[in-house]
Amino acid sequence: MSFTVTNRQGRHLSVSKYGPEHAPVIVLSNSLGTDQQMWQAQVEVLAQNYQVITYDTRGHGQSEVIAASSLKNLAEDVIDILDQLQLKHVHFCGISMGGITALYLGIHHAERFLSITVANSGAKIWTTEGWNSRADDVSANGLTDIVASTHTRWFSDHFDYQNSAVAQRTIQSLATTSAAGYAESCRALAHADLREELQQISIPTLIIAGQNDPVTTIADAQLMQQKIPLSELVVLDASHLSNIEQADKFTQALSQFIASIQ
C-alpha cells in the first residue's frame, strides 16, 4: 500500500507499507540518488514476518523537493512518518544517506527505535567541499555525468549489475531523480558530521560495510563500531549498494540482528 505523508514543513513524502499490520515494524531508508524501490529484495523477504515501511527521502522518487534541507530535516521526516502512522517503536535500517540518518535518529530520537542498522555509511561521508561542489555542478548541469559513472561506485566489478533487475531499476531511479532534490541532499550531507556524538548512541546498532566500497569504507565502519557501545559489524563482499549486490546476505544479516533483539 502506497500513500502520502505530510511532514512538519507541510511537504509531501511518498511512503509504502507492506506485511502484517500488527507485526514488529522495520523502516527502510534509501541512499542518495535512489528511491524506495531499491529495497525490493529486502521487502519480499522481511514482509513475511514484519510490517515493512519504505519511503522516498525528500527530493527523491515521488517525495517533494524541499529547499535548505539538513540532516536534522531528514531525520525529522522519519519521525513525522512514524507519528502519522502511530508507530511508537520501530527498527530502522538506512543505507548511505539513509545510514547517517539512522545515526542521527539513534543520537537524538533513541526513544522511538528498538535498533538502528547503518549500512554503507559513515558518521562523516566524504568532504564538505566535495559535496558542495557536486551540488553546484548538478544544479548547473544536471545528473547525466553522474549517472554515466555511477555503476563504478555502486557495484563491484565482479557484480553483473546489467542482469540484475533491481540494479537496473536503481540506476534508472538516479537518472530520473530531481537534480534539485539531489543537490539539496548533497548540501545536507556537506554539513553532516556526527563523529563526536557516536558514543551517545545507546540502542543496539548493526553496521554493514562493503569490502569493496570506495565511498564509505571499512575504516568508516570500524570507527563507528569502536565508538558506538552496543554495535556489531558485518562486512559483505560488495561495493556501495550492498543490499542489492549481496541481497540475500544483507537481508540475512539484518534479519538475524533484529531477531536477536526481540
Specify whether the CB–CB gap between 122 and 194 falls below 8 A.
Answer: no
What cell numbers appear for 230 in the block?
552496543
Report the pLDDT value the prediction gives residue 209, as an integer from 0 to 100. 98
Q: What pTM, to 2 d.p., does this model score?
A: 0.98
Q: How many CA atoms lie within 13 A of 175 on its CB side?
A: 10
Query: Is the alpha carbon torsion for 15, 20, 21, 27 positive or negative?
Result: negative
pLDDT value of position 262: 62
Q: Give residue 56's pLDDT.
A: 98
Interacting residues of 161 by C-beta distance below 8 A, sequence separation 6+: 151, 154, 155, 167, 168, 171, 245
Topology of domain 2-261, CATH? Rossmann fold (3.40.50)
Which amino acid would we find at residue 25?
A: V
**Helices 179-190 and 71-84, axial angle in degrees (round to 10):** 110
User: Would you say 102 and 132 are in contact if contact means Cβ atoms under 8 Å apart?
Assistant: no
Alpha-helical runs (H) found in the chain: 40-46, 71-84, 97-108, 128-141, 144-154, 165-175, 179-190, 218-227, 242-245, 247-261
Across the chain, how many H-helices and E-strands are there? 10, 8
**Domain limits of the chain?**
2-261
Dihedral angle over CA of 129, 133, 134, 140, nearest 10: 160
Residue-level pLDDT at 176: 96
pLDDT truncated to tens, each residue of the chain (262 aa)?
Answer: 999 999 999 999 999 999 999 999 999 999 999 999 999 999 999 999 999 999 999 999 999 999 999 999 999 999 999 999 999 999 999 999 999 999 999 999 999 999 999 999 999 999 999 999 999 999 999 999 999 999 999 999 999 999 999 999 999 999 999 999 999 999 999 999 999 999 999 999 999 999 999 999 999 999 999 999 999 999 999 999 999 999 999 999 999 999 999 6
Determine the Cα–Cα distance for residues 7 and 28; give it in Å rounded to an integer. Answer: 17
Length of the chain equals 262
